[in-house]
Amino acid sequence: MSSRKYDIAIIGAGPGGSSTAYFLSKYGFSVLLIDKTEFPRAKTCGDGLTPRALDVLADMGILGKIQQEGFRIDGIHLFAPRKKRLYMPIPQKGNLPNYLVTLPRLQLDQIIFEQAIEAGAIFQGNTHITQIKKIPQGVRITGKHKQHPLEIDARMAIIATGANLKLLRSSKIIQKAPTMILAARQYFENVNGLSNNVEAYFDGIPLPGYGWVFPISETVANVGVGYWPHGIARHWKPENATQVFKNFIKLETLREMLNDAKAMEPIRGFPIRMDFTTAPTFGEGALLVGEAAGLVNPLTGEGIDFALESGKLAAGHIQHTFERGDFSPEDFLAYDALLREHFQRLFIMLTRIRKLYINPLLISRFLESAQNIPDLQLMLANIILGHQDAADCISPKTIRQVLLGR
Ligand SMILES: Cc1cc2nc3c(=O)[nH]c(=O)nc-3n(C[C@H](O)[C@H](O)[C@H](O)COP(=O)(O)OP(=O)(O)OC[C@H]3O[C@@H](n4cnc5c(N)ncnc54)[C@H](O)[C@@H]3O)c2cc1C
């Protein structure tokens, strides 16, 4: 049994947990970062980093390394039913980069993790946490390290366990499982026609949802699908994400791209949580960051950016908590208010749009209109990239432009 007491114990060393660990260690706290696996480890993902994600990675001092190891993306190709297409360059938004980067999570998460360790966080791998309980001096965390029982005390905990709900349930933070997006991806080498653009398809998959081709080099791509099983998908009754993936790569365009390609590993599926607008953001003695708080773009399934941003926000909040010595329930409510202030409006808007794009005719109409109207294109790009003020872009004028095509 461990007897050392830490200021903060962080459960989950993905982008959410490792960024929190980095910022807290920089602020001078003693931080224990825990994960059930050892690092490096892979995570099923599309491997796309938005400008928002790149901004936090720059703040952590690792953007250069990520640019070096990753693949630069300058634009997005959208493919709708009835052969409608739209190309959008990544727009410049304030000081954010005007490009994306793709980098397999095996490498990305290791770079973020190493930066947290470099800043001073202690890592304990192979450690599966099963419960967090409030005690008078803070929190007691229990679980198993390589099958041996383990107990750790800390003043506060961070839960950064991603889409895995077990710890949230056993710690009574979540009672009912939220509806999740179902997703699957596979890497292919020797893919035809890759460029410095990502491709998103609203064709050949259940809606709302999309299929993607994210190049991670000039010849290798991450190909995948994600769909919301409670929209029109209910009527399709696809067996599972793997089946949807297999149907998607039968599309003519995909067949051409993958004609000479070779799969590099089996198809891997994983769910995505995106219920932030109604999700709890804390439990007794513990703050939630990243996907554990449902912080994934409800339209696109991108969550690395919000995991990094919430990690930074949580660390800043904890710094004030310790300065004030206020560990009361009000302080946890203040963290919830902080996250809502940053993300609630955007997430409500993105959830509403997801409900709209179940109609293939509407998507085709929108892409057709956006082809000729630069303002609409810009609005669409900002929405897809989850830019903060995307919610302000939709006006009666834009709706009229979509309907009239001018
Ligand atoms: C197919 C797919 C494609 C995606 N594509 C993209 C994309 O292109 N871009 C993007 O930005 N996002 C994408 N996402 C979403 C993104 O993967 C997640 O939102 C992101 O990983 C969330 O980061 P996180 O740190 O919150 O959680 P995670 O990265 O999931 O990390 C959680 C960590 O917690 C550990 N853990 C869990 N439970 C315990 C426990 N009880 N004890 C100890 N450790 C535990 C896990 O081992 C893991 O290391 C995709 C998701 C999927 C499934």
To test the pocket of ligand 1, the residue of 10, 20, 34, 36 to mutate (highest count of ligand atoms within 8 Å of its CB) is 36
Question: How many secondary structure helices (H) and strands (E) does the chain include?
Answer: 13, 19
CA of 130 to the centre of ligand 1 (A): 18
pLDDT at position 398: 67
Distances (CA, A) of 155 to 7, 10, 34, 124, 275: 5, 11, 15, 18, 28
Same domain, 349 and 363: no
For the ranges 74-83, 205-214, 300-309, 394-403, the maximum mean pLDDT occurs at 300-309
Task: Over range 273-295, report the average pLDDT.
Answer: 97
> Is residue 337 situated within a structural domain?
yes
CA of 14 to the centre of ligand 1 (A): 6
CA of 379 to the centre of ligand 1 (A): 28
> Is residue 249 situated within a structural domain?
no
DSSP label at residue 178: P
pLDDT at position 375: 82
Rounded Cα–Cα distance for residues 278 and 249 (Å)? 34
Same domain, 282 and 396: no
pLDDT at position 395: 66
On the 0-12 / 13-18 / 19+ scale of CB atoms within 10 A, 237 is exposed
399 CB neighbour count, 10 Å cutoff:
10
pLDDT in tens, 28-80: 999 999 999 999 999 999 999 999 999 999 999 999 999 999 999 999 999 98
Same domain, 142 and 168: yes
Rounded Cα–Cα distance for residues 185 and 406 (Å)? 37
Is residue 17 classed as helix, strand or coil in its secondary structure?
helix
3-state secondary structure 55-99: HHHHHCCCHHHHHHHCEEECEEEEEECCCEEEEEECCCCCCCCCC
pLDDT in tens, 67-123: 999 999 999 999 987 778 899 999 999 999 999 999 999 999 999 999 999 999 999
Same domain, 114 and 27: yes
Q: Which residues line ligand 1 (CB under 6 A)?
A: 11-17, 34-37, 43-48, 128-129, 160-162, 164, 166-167, 183, 185, 224, 270, 272, 290-292, 296, 301-305, 307
Domain housing 9: 5-43+104-175+274-353
The residue whose CA is least distant from atom 37 of ligand 1 is 161
| Average pLDDT taken over every residue of the chain | 92
Task: Over range 120-138, report the average pLDDT.
Answer: 96
CA of 62 to the centre of ligand 1 (A): 19
* Ramachandran quadrant class, 240 (left: phi over 0; alpha: psi -120 to 50; beta: rest): beta
Q: Which atom of ligand 1 is nearest to the CA of 160?
A: 26
The residue whose CA is least distant from atom 41 of ligand 1 is 129
CA of 287 to the centre of ligand 1 (A): 17
> Is residue 66 situated within a structural domain?
no
Same domain, 283 and 342: yes
